[in-house]
């Protein structure tokens, strides 16, 4: 079945693009003049914020664990929307597959936690906070983790692909559809909590045909880790899959709204394990991407997704059972991240990110979160860690199964290890990074979050 065409004809799409192109030069000139006139106001911070908010943590002692899962379709299927990841002013012409929010809820005693994976480029911290606010009657905001796959064929949920800095790519209706869908997925997962047994496994992806690091080919995490949530009779509730790779098979010229390779990953896993498959990305930055063997096509995206899905299933054959009684622990370390990238401040000044807050001096609120159930620890970062930073964090997780999760509860761009900051291979990454200071701030927040769930290994 081919891509679902939108009601608007191609001729109208071309006319709209032509009109946009006629305006682009004059708008960009205006934007540059406005930005330059306000540059004196944008002095990026040169040091950390003077205050670190207190860590928030909750825990429940070991005992039987409950789990539930759900999936909700987020796909905009009406008027075309701005697409994220590549060109500005690019709108979709068709849809293939579904953009989804997939949630796994766990509970131990009175303590609940929920993890939601979304087929999106990313979400701002304030958007995640709105999801948490709506879920607060059911679950504490401190136990909600919303992560994005960093899909480059989805709607613009960050605002960066309209006409920056003058026009945001955010659409109010699409944003509401996304946020309400994430809330609904979490609500459904919580409503379906039932006794569960867990097992996990891990395999390595092959050297060719799945992922690669364009910058440093030998520096890449090839591990595909799966965690199975099963009922007491052995039937599946959910499967969590963790792997590091940019979902950008389709490339910059693509006009098909799609989940990219995770769509086929879900289908492959769910064909063998009926239930909900959820994909969490890892240290995908700088530039860990798909290793295409064919063109920038839907067929190639599906080939890669099937390959990762088959690896995820192989990891669970048979997998290693976790104890019947597991502790549940959550820790959240809020931070004020110094934003040293001047264009980020210009974009915020013009409102392209929506109501993203800044505190005086050029800092934005964000967080690092750790969630632990038994020997499984999820450590979420608010951006795209490069592999060197990802491996450093991974080495400090003391539990048996440590998963560094990218784009958790925020998207601040590339998180570059300080030792690589001047490396010319990362010239591009520096242009979409919060800055050198952010890495140290978030590293310290990660140590705090890990300590909060009892999973911080002593440094050697």
Question: pLDDT, tens digit, for every residue of 310-345?
Answer: 999 999 998 999 999 999 999 999 999 999 998 899
**Token pair recorded at residue 212:** 């690669």
pLDDT of residue 449: 99
User: Mean pLDDT, to the nearest integer, of 42-67?
Assistant: 93
Percent of the chain topping pLDDT 90: 85
pLDDT of residue 5: 59
Q: How far is CA 305 from CA 241, 246, 318, 353, in A?
A: 12, 12, 21, 31
pLDDT of residue 2: 62
**Token pair recorded at residue 54:** 């207190």
pLDDT of residue 16: 41
Question: Is residue 112 over pLDDT 80?
Answer: yes
Angle formed by the axes of helices 172-191 and 125-135, nearest 10°: 50
Cα–Cα dist 94/139, whole Å = 37
Question: Is residue 292 over pLDDT 60?
Answer: yes
pLDDT of residue 44: 85
Question: Is residue 19 over pLDDT 50?
Answer: no
Cβ proximity of 362 and 43 under 8 Å: yes
pLDDT class of 221 with cuts at 50, 70, 90: very high
Question: Is residue 36 over pLDDT 50?
Answer: no
pLDDT of residue 359: 83
Task: Give every CB contact of residue 113 below 8 A, 6+ residues apart in sequence.
Answer: 105, 106, 107, 139, 143, 144, 145, 328, 330, 371, 373
Picking from 380, 381, 396, the residue whose alpha carbon sits closest to that of residue 456 is 396
Question: Is residue 8 over pLDDT 80?
Answer: no
**Token pair recorded at residue 7:** 């009601």
Cα–Cα dist 80/94, whole Å = 8
pLDDT class of 39 with cuts at 50, 70, 90: very low
| Strands 56-73 vs 325-338: parallel, antiparallel or unpaired | antiparallel
pLDDT class of 50 with cuts at 50, 70, 90: confident
* Strand, coil or helix: 150: coil
Least confident window among 34-38, 76-80, 262-266: 34-38
Question: Is residue 38 over pLDDT 90?
Answer: no
Question: pLDDT, tens digit, for every residue of 166-211?
Answer: 899 999 999 999 999 999 999 999 999 999 999 999 999 999 999 9
Q: What angle do CA 228, 233, 238 make, to 5 degrees?
A: 25
User: Mean pLDDT, to the nearest integer, of 393-398?
Assistant: 98
What is the 3-state composition of the chain as percent helix, strand, coil, each rounded to the nearest 5?
30, 30, 40
Question: pLDDT, tens digit, for every residue of 95-111?
Answer: 999 999 999 999 999 99
Question: Is residue 376 over pLDDT 50?
Answer: yes
pLDDT of residue 40: 40
pLDDT class of 360 with cuts at 50, 70, 90: confident
Task: Give every CB contact of residue 207 below 8 A, 6+ residues apart in sequence.
Answer: 222
What number of other Cβ atoms are within 10 A of residue 440's Cβ? 12
pTM listed for this prediction: 0.93
Q: How many helices (H) and strands (E) does the chain have?
A: 9, 20
pLDDT class of 43 with cuts at 50, 70, 90: confident
pLDDT of residue 364: 97
């Amino acid at each position: 079945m081919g891509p679902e065409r939108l009601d608007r004809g191609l001729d109208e799409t071309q006319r709209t693009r032509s009109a946009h192109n006629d305006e682009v030069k004059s708008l960009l000139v205006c934007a540059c003049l406005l930005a330059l006139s306000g540059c004196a106001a944008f002095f990026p911070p040169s040091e950390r914020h003077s205050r670190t908010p207190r860590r928030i943590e909750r825990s429940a002692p070991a005992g039987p664990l409950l789990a539930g899962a759900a999936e909700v379709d987020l796909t905009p299927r009406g008027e075309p929307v701005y697409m994220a990841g590549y060109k500005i002013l690019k709108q979709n012409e068709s849809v293939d597959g579904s953009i989804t929010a997939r949630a796994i809820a766990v509970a131990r005693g009175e303590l609940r936690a929920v993890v939601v994976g979304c087929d999106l480029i990313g979400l701002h911290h304030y958007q995640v906070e709105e999801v948490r606010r709506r879920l607060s009657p059911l679950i504490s905001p401190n136990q909600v983790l919303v992560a994005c796959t960093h899909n480059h064929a989805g709607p613009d949920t960050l605002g960066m692909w309209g006409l920056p800095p003058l026009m945001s790519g955010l659409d109010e209706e699409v944003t509401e559809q996304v946020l309400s869908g994430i809330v609904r997925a979490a609500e459904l997962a919580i409503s379906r909590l039932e006794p569960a047994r867990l097992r996990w496994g891990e395999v390595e992806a092959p050297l060719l045909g799945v992922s690669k690091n364009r910058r440093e080919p030998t520096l890449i995490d090839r591990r595909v880790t799966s965690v199975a949530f099963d009922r007491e009779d052995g039937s599946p509730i959910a499967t969590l899959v963790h792997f590091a790779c940019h979902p950008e098979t389709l490339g910059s010229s693509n006009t098909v709204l799609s989940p990219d390779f995770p769509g086929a990953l879900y289908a492959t896993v769910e064909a063998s394990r009926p239930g909900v498959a959820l994909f969490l990305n890892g240290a995908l930055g700088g530039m860990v991407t798909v290793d295409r063997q064919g063109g920038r096509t839907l067929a190639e995206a599906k080939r890669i997704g099937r390959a990762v899905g088959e690896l995820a299933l192989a990891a669970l054959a048979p997998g290693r059972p976790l104890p019947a009684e597991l502790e549940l622990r959550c820790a959240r370390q809020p931070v004020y991240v110094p934003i040293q990238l001047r264009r980020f401040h210009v974009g915020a000044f013009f409102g392209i990110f929506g109501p993203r807050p800044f505190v005086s001096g050029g800092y934005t609120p964000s967080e690092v979160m750790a969630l632990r159930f038994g020997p499984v620890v999820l450590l979420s970062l608010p951006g795209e860690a490069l592999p060197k930073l990802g491996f450093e964090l991974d080495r400090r997780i003391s539990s048996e199964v440590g998963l560094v999760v990218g784009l958790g509860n925020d998207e601040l761009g590339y998180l570059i290890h300080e030792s690589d900051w001047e490396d010319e291979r990362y010239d591009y990454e520096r242009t979409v990074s919060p800055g050198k200071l952010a890495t140290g701030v978030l590293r310290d927040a990660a140590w705090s979050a890990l300590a909060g769930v009892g999973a911080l290994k002593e440094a050697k």
